[in-house]
Amino acid sequence: MSVTKLAFVGAGNMNSAIIEGLLNAGDTPSSISVSNRSAPKLERLSKLGVATHINNVDACDQADIIVLGVKPSQILDVCREIRTTAARSGALVLSVAAGVTIAQLEQVLGKETPIVRAMPNTPSTVGAGAAGLFANAAVSEKGRTDAQRVLEGCGIATWVESEELIDAVIAVAGSAPAYFFYILEALVEEGINLGLAPEQAQTLAVQTCFGAAKLCQNAETDLATLRNKVTSPGGTTQAALTTFKELDLQGTIKAGMRAAVARAREMAQENG
Ligand SMILES: NC(=O)c1ccc[n+]([C@@H]2O[C@H](COP(=O)([O-])OP(=O)(O)OC[C@H]3O[C@@H](n4cnc5c(N)ncnc54)[C@H](OP(=O)(O)O)[C@@H]3O)[C@@H](O)[C@H]2O)c1
């Protein structure tokens, strides 16, 4: 992304994760500017060498891509603020907000503005993000490539066929790091209850999560086969899995994912 100028509006969790991921991957800080309505979060980013602004329009001036990373309830106001600047430069607007539709963004920015909706996640900070993307009709092939490169600078990125599928990406990837942290919290807590030292329990649980993910990435077999390889009949793993099945752990996880999708749709209605 060395020649593409990127502006980030909002210096919160998600935008900071993308910025740090891009810098860790070797992007030049001088190609990145970022704005936030309050100063403290900008100070840290400023130390990384990116240009920081309190004024959103100043940050977006001359940007090729403007990444909007404010809360869904704040994003349309930000669009109103930057629309003239974006129109003048022809910048592509990339929104990472959950529950704000392309139609809602077009209502403020105009249908002629190239807009990409992206649903990334915070492992972007360590170059291990996973994002889904969807573009409006105004996005050119070059715009698609540029938007994809922003997200691929800090992980993987995949285009979805319809905008509704962004909600599915929220359930599977955007919100999902928190599911894994939640499960890890349980593993660590019970490890401690069973007598392990807290640090030991955390190190073992996190490394196991990492190792399991790596096995899945490298495996030529499906997930159930990988699970079966750890599950000897009548053994300890089977005892644990039988309990999970009796308590319908998978059903619970799927219900949580449907709740995430329902909330994204509700948020879109709230943005009306
Ligand atoms: N967090 C995730 O895992 C995740 C994953 C996928 C997508 N997203 C999406 O990413 C977006 C941001 O989420 P987040 O978790 O990063 O939230 P966050 O940490 O609260 O960040 C939002 C940032 O926007 C700033 N801001 C608010 N209004 C502004 C304005 N008018 N002008 C400039 N800056 C403004 C806030 O500044 P202050 O510091 O002054 O409040 C804050 O730093 C959301 O739309 C969310 O749906 C998040």
Residue 2 CB partners (closer than 8 Å, separation 6+): 27, 28, 31
- What's the pLDDT score for residue 2? 45
| Fold of the 176-268 domain | ProC C-terminal domain-like fold (1.10.3730)
Instruction: Spell out which residues line ligand 1, taking CB within 6 angstroms.
Output: 9-14, 35-38, 41, 56, 69-72, 74, 77-78, 96-98, 119-122, 174
In the chain, residues under CATH classification 3.40.50.720 are 6-161
What is the residue with the minimal CA distance to atom 31 of ligand 1? 78
Nearest CA-CA partner of 133 in 106, 110, 165:
165
What is the residue with the minimal CA distance to atom 21 of ligand 1? 12
pLDDT classification of 166: cutoffs 50, 70, 90 = very high
pLDDT classification of 271: cutoffs 50, 70, 90 = confident
pTM for this model (two decimals): 0.93
Nearest CA-CA partner of 42 in 74, 19, 68, 65:
19
Determine the distance separating the centroid of ligand 1 and the alpha carbon of 139, expressed in angstroms. 24
Q: What is the pLDDT of residues 142-158, one digit of tens each?
A: 999 999 999 998 999 99
What is the residue with the minimal CA distance to atom 39 of ligand 1? 38
Interval 31-47 mean pLDDT: 96
Q: Which CATH class is domain 6-161?
A: alpha beta
- The residues that bridge with 33 in the sheet, in sequence order, are 7, 51
Residue 149 CB partners (closer than 8 Å, separation 6+): 1, 4
Please give the number of the atom of ligand 1 that sits closest to the Cα of 98: 47
**What number of other Cβ atoms are within 10 A of residue 248's Cβ?**
11
Share of the chain above pLDDT 90, in %: 94
CA quadruple 184, 185, 186, 188: dihedral, nearest 10: 80
In the chain, residues under CATH classification 1.10.3730.10 are 176-268
Q: Which DSSP helix (H) or strand (E) runs through 209? A: helix 198-218
Interval 49-76 mean pLDDT: 96
Q: What is the pLDDT of residues 186-226, one digit of tens each?
A: 999 999 999 999 999 999 999 999 999 999 998 889 999 99
Determine the distance separating the centroid of ligand 1 and the alpha carbon of 9, expressed in angstroms. 9
What is the residue with the minimal CA distance to atom 20 of ligand 1? 12
Q: What is the mean pLDDT of the chain?
A: 95
Strands (DSSP E) contained in the chain are 6-9, 32-35, 51-53, 65-68, 92-95, 115-119, 129-135, 155-159
Determine the distance separating the centroid of ligand 1 and the alpha carbon of 16, expressed in angstroms. 9
CA 251 to chain centre: 24
Res 232 pLDDT > 70: yes
Res 272 pLDDT > 80: no
Pocket test for ligand 1, best of 71, 79, 121, 154 (most atoms within 8 A of CB): 71
Tokens of 58: 């100043």
Determine the distance separating the centroid of ligand 1 and the alpha carbon of 79, expressed in angstroms. 14
Q: What is the pLDDT of residues 134-143, one digit of tens each?
A: 999 999 999 9
- What's the pLDDT score for residue 3? 58
